[in-house]
Amino acid sequence: MEFRKMEPVAPPALATRDLNGMAHDLSAYKGRVVLVNFWASWCPPCRKEMPSMQRLMQKMADKPFTILAMDTGESREEAEAFLKSMPVDFPVLLDPESIVAKHWKVFAMPTSFLVDKLGRIRYVLPGGTEWDDGDGIKLILEMLNE
Amino acid sequence: MLLISGSGSAQAAASLPGPDHLHLAVPSGEQLDYLRYPAKGKRLLIWVSSERGQAETERSAARELAKRGIEVWLLDLNFSYFLNGDRKGFDQIPAIDLQTLLQDASKKKGVVAFAMGRAAVPILKAFGSWKAGEGRLGHLDFVLMHPNLYEDAEALQEPRYIDFGNLKGARLLILQPRRSAGVVWLDHQRDALQAQGAVVRNEILERLREGFWERQETTDYETEMGQHLADLVWDRLPKGREK
């Protein structure tokens, strides 16, 4: 799958809590490039790309970059069960009723959005990828340099 | 007019046990290949495999349903139309071909159409585009397993659904595995189909993913449900409308 370039557009609302109970609002991340990733533990390509997201996070540790991984349509317990075998350092947000996914018009898992430092969606990727090697990291670095 | 290859009757692999392998010449010039699992009951299930092709679990289910008295005609449209999983190809299957099949089937028994994934599109198109006076069936029951009916489904945009024409007389039971991005959009899909005249009921299949009966890696529960696909279908076949 290929990244689809968007005319910069304000994102739908995204405000929810992560697995630790901490509240996250996408609008508070202006000034940072954000990868918003909709995933589920039952989704094989979601599971496959998660390690590359962790590696990406590590590569970008000193940069204004964040990953918000939106676990969609499943319970906290299901998310936690998967993450026991795949611990990650970025926030895993919970959307058990898929309310956020519906606002963002997500039709496939995984679907990822790249949000720039002004808080605008710039790219959409339906499907998985190797985030730390290829077009994904290239686009993120371009957006960080803007 | 229905044309059947052979000497006025469908060719059958008569010497082999199990299903009959039949070929139906259709108006577009193609041959619809299907497996017929005969049964003595008054209902006939036209089972159309998804764009991923036909799995052994489906053939097992067809055999079991036939043992219970439901005749099954099992179609793989990939095979008949050389589609190799091409979704656009499924959309372009001539409606008149499946109208011919439905018309022939309905002469004999009460028909239910069961279709999976994108294969729901050609069978719905066949019904929806059928004109009165051309042998259109007055009504038809459908059981659709996670049908893919999108015209467009792009992130950040409202989905658009295929316009099938006039679905008045269609009764649809939509089976949607819970573990799918599609489950969020069931109500939208229902509304779009109802706007075209169909009566629609949704049922969510918990703890299952789309294509659960044919996945390479399955959960224990998915494996079990794949082996009991006949029960899943049997329990949801509409009662009545038998011949």
End-to-end CA distance of chain A: 25
Taking CA atoms, A55 is separated from A6, A41, A60, B161, in Å, by 26, 19, 9, 39
Which single residue is written with the structure tokens 């006039």? B166
Q: Give the helix/strand (H/E) hosting A56.
A: helix A44-59
CB within 8 Å of B190: residues ≥ 6 apart: B174, B200, B202
Query: pLDDT at position B240, please?
Result: 59
pLDDT tens, B20-38?
A: 999 999 999 999 999 999 9
Average pLDDT over residues A111-118: 98
Question: Average model confidence (pLDDT) for chain A?
Answer: 97
Residue bearing the bigger pLDDT, A137 or B11:
A137
Mean pLDDT value across residues A89-107:
97
- Residue numbers in A near B209 (CB within 8 A): 42
Handedness of CA B179, B180, B184, B188 (dihedral sign): negative
Model pLDDT for residues B79-124, shown as the tens digit of each residue = 999 999 999 999 999 999 999 999 999 998 999 999 999 999 999 9
Count chain A–chain B contacts defined by CB atoms under 8 A. 52
Per residue in A5-18, pLDDT (tens digit) is: 999 999 999 999 99
**What residues have CB less than 8 Å from B239, skipping those under 6 apart?**
none
Chain B touched by A41 (CB under 8 Å): no
Residue B61 above 60 pLDDT? yes
pLDDT value of position B108: 84
- Say if the Cβ atoms of A124 and B156 lie within 8 Å: yes
What is the predicted pLDDT for the residue at B16?
A: 37
CA–CA gap between residue B103 and residue A65 (Å, rounded): 60
Beta-bridge partner residues of A24 = A16
ipTM passes above 0.90: yes
Q: What number is the average pLDDT over the span B37-53?
A: 96
- pLDDT reading at B239 higher than 90: no
> Which residue of A43, A107, A124 is in closest CB contact with B159?
A107
* A71–chain B nearest CA distance, Å: 12
The residue to which tokens 């496959």 are assigned: A48
Give A27-81 pLDDT, tens digit per residue. 999 999 999 999 999 999 999 999 999 999 999 999 999 999 999 999 999 999 9
Residues in chain B closer than 8 A to A105 (CB atoms): 154-159
pLDDT at B119: 98
Asked if A19 contacts A80 with a C-beta cutoff of 8 angstroms, the reply is yes
Average pLDDT over residues B170-194: 97
Asked if A42's CB is within 8 angstroms of B154's CB, the reply is no
